Amino acid sequence: MRSSSGRNSSGNNGGSRGGNSGGRGGSGGGRGDYRGAGNARDDKQGGRPKKPRPEERRYDVGPGATKDGPKSGRGASARGGAKGGPRQSQATGRGRTAPASSREYDARAEERNRERYAGKKDVKLPKTFPGAEQEGERLQKVLARAGYGSRRACEELIEQARVEINGEIVLEQGRRVDPEKDEVKVDGLTVATQSYQFFSLNKPAGVVSTMEDPEGRQCLGDYVTNRETRLFHVGRLDTETEGVILLTNHGELAHRLTHPKYGVKKTYLAAIVGPIPRDLGKRLKDGIQLEDGYARADHFRVVEQTGKNYLVEVTLHEGRKHIVRRMLAEAGFPVEKLVRTSFGPITLGDQKSGWLRRLSNTEVGMLMKEVDL
């Protein structure tokens, strides 16, 4: 009995295992059959549509496209890359067609606006921000550009009542000026409101007083070759004469500084050999007859004496060629060395030979005051 039942159980187990395996096999086969059947059933019953695989999807739905693909080329819609492709242009009301992209829409709108406003005059909108009705630049900005410090420092100058416009002291901030027309002064000295440049050069001996020399000699232009603005010299110095010579791009100032009408004084130190008479200064002040007329010195004094060697100072307001050398030579004392130590209010000081320095705002103001600018 036990063996029989064991055989039966084993047989049953075997049969069930076989059935299960067969069932699994059937299930596997059933899955395959179910797919096909399901798709067929959906097609017959009008259920959910068949979903194509990604590689079978077609995004070419633009004009000219067919079920088999685009009419020609890759198609504009294939560049979209988004699921389902780019949106189709949809018809809008009144028979108009919406543009396919925002760029096309913007282009059409811009074209319509141009047609609408073609030939119309430009409309000037009113200036609504404070101070806009005034023309010109703010005073502190003009002062800062002229080199009087930062805008805050220039505002402090205004607060201290040190700035005046056309003879009127400025007491409020934000005042606007026209640099071309208005006269701006700080502490009574005129401000160069334009982009002018002013330099003082201690010219060495042997340098020609020209900006360019056709013979290739060293000239004044060699000291300002790196400047963006073209400069020119104010007056001249002999090739062998040293000392102060001014360079600027302010034409009117340069003209007045050299015009005899304004009588800007220049001071020279001359080395001569004595002994010299006590009345030499009087003779020079009274006038020395030269081939081109009388020449008079405004001031004369002996600075230093070493034996027979004298160092004398001569001040005059004339600017004729070689005038100091010719005056002393006519008086009987040829000049061995000549240095110009000042041009108006601009002095040589401790400036070394061959050095170029920019004039300060105070110095420029004093120069302008000297010639009524």
**Claim to verify: residue 276 and residue 213 sit in the same structural domain:** yes
Question: Domains in the chain: how many in total?
Answer: 2
pLDDT tier, 13 (very low <50, low <70, confident <90, very high otherwise): very low
pLDDT tier, 266 (very low <50, low <70, confident <90, very high otherwise): very high
d(CA 316, CA 323): 9
Asked which of 129, 163, 190 is the last residue of a domain, the reply is 190
Share of the chain above pLDDT 70, in %: 67
Is 61 a domain residue? no
Which pLDDT value is given to residue 196? Answer: 82
Give the CATH number, domain containing residue 162: 3.10.290.10
- pTM as predicted: 0.55
User: For the residues 282-309, what does the mean pLDDT come to?
Assistant: 91
**Claim to verify: residue 226 and residue 253 sit in the same structural domain:** yes
Give the CATH number, domain containing residue 296: 3.30.2350.10
Q: Which of 66-70, 74-78, 101-105, 152-156 has the highest average model confidence (pLDDT)?
A: 152-156
β-bridge partners, 310: 272, 305
**Claim to verify: residue 164 and residue 256 sit in the same structural domain:** no
41-86: pLDDT as tens digits: 545 455 555 665 655 555 554 455 454 544 444 444 444 444 444 4
Least confident of 122-136, 187-201, 222-236, 341-355: 122-136
**Claim to verify: residue 277 and residue 331 sit in the same structural domain:** yes
**Claim to verify: residue 212 and residue 330 sit in the same structural domain:** yes
**Claim to verify: residue 268 and residue 317 sit in the same structural domain:** yes
Is 362 a domain residue? yes
Report which of residues 354 and 39 the model is more confident about. 354
For 247, the domain range is 198-370
**Claim to verify: residue 209 and residue 344 sit in the same structural domain:** yes
**Claim to verify: residue 219 and residue 366 sit in the same structural domain:** yes
- The CB density around residue 65, as the number of other CB atoms within 10 Å, is 19
Is 323 a domain residue? yes
**Claim to verify: residue 234 and residue 158 sit in the same structural domain:** no
Which residues belong to the active site?
A: 238
Is 147 a domain residue? yes
β-bridge partners, 248: 198, 232
Least confident of 191-195, 237-241, 304-308: 191-195
Which pLDDT value is given to residue 76? Answer: 45
Share of the chain above pLDDT 90, in %: 28
User: For the residues 140-165, what does the mean pLDDT come to?
Assistant: 83
Closest CA to 189 of 72, 361, 340: 361
Closest CA to 274 of 339, 340, 324, 328: 328
Asked if 244 and 341 touch (Cβ cutoff 8 Å), the reply is yes
